[in-house]
């Protein structure tokens, strides 16, 4: 147990890690460290977002650590990060899900999109993001350096919260959730997500 605790307290994100720069067509064009990728208006780089649901169809939400440079303490999807230089997307997702949540699971690719959003005057996200979904009933062991809080939530309750307090959620999460619940309803229903009949 002590080894697991030490692992889940480990620092797994570094300003110096080299990310994959891409063009508008997601073609790799170079590499740059994470800090400079998020400075100013940002440099377009490859990223991913993973949505994990339990057997009841509830989404695992994470609250970003207070130590995050961008959007600290905001609620977001289960896991989001970047593949590093020379790393495949699948390997990056498996690595981060284990590092942040202590979970090993299967996941399914749905779509990719590009977005650019500034956070105050501190920096920006400028990503070409691949979006995945998966299911896991494994015990969650969060990394305190990455995650301030976590919980499972139903689609209906999530919608209420997002309507009442949209500023509590990261901008990419709101974009992705809207797309998932409109364009990928069948994929969500296959994971037992209870969506409204009129569209969420």
Per-residue pLDDT tens digits for 105-125:
999 999 999 999 999 999 999
4/6 Cα distance (integer angstroms): 5
pLDDT tens across 150-171, in order?
999 999 999 999 999 999 999 9
Structure-model confidence comparison of residues 147 and 16, the more confident one:
147
Mean pLDDT of the chain: 92
Query: How confident is residue 14, by pLDDT bands cut at 50, 70 and 90?
Result: low
Active site residue 127: yes
What's the confidence (pLDDT) of residue 25? 98
pLDDT higher than 50, residue 200: no
Which domains are assigned to the chain?
Answer: 2-189 (3.90.79.10)
Annotated active-site residue in 58, 100, 125, 127 = 127
pTM for the predicted model, two decimal places: 0.92
Annotated active-site residue in 37, 58, 79, 80 = 80
Q: What is the average pLDDT across 12-36? A: 91
Active site residue 79: no
Contact 98, 81 (CB under 8 A): no
Closest to 75 (Cα-Cα) out of 170, 183, 172: 170
Q: What is the average pLDDT across 43-70? A: 97
By the 10 Å C-beta count (0-12 exposed, 13-18 middle, 19+ buried), 15 is classed as: exposed
Query: How confident is residue 69, by pLDDT bands cut at 50, 70 and 90?
Result: very high
The share of the chain scoring above pLDDT 90, in percent, equals 87
Query: How confident is residue 73, by pLDDT bands cut at 50, 70 and 90?
Result: very high
């Amino acid at each position: 147990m002590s080894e697991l605790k030490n692992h889940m307290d480990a620092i797994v994100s570094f300003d110096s890690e080299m990310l994959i720069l891409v063009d508008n067509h997601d073609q790799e064009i170079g590499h740059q460290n994470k800090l400079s990728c998020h400075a100013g208006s940002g440099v377009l780089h490859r990223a991913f977002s993973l949505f994990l649901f339990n057997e009841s169809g509830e989404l695992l939400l994470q609250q970003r650590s207070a130590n995050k440079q961008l959007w600290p303490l905001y609620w977001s999807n289960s896991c989001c990060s970047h593949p590093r230089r020379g790393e495949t997307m699948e390997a990056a997702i498996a690595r981060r899900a284990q590092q942040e949540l202590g979970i090993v699971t299967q996941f399914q690719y749905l779509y990719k999109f590009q977005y650019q959003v500034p956070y105050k005057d501190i920096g920006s996200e400028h990503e070409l993001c691949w979006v995945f979904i998966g299911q896991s009933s494994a015990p969650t062991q969060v990394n305190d350096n990455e995650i301030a809080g976590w919980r499972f939530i139903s689609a209906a309750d999530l919608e209420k919260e997002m309507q009442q307090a949209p500023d509590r959620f990261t901008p990419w999460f709101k974009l992705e959730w809207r797309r998932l619940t409109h364009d990928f309803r069948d994929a969500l229903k296959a994971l037992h997500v209870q969506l409204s009949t009129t569209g969420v």
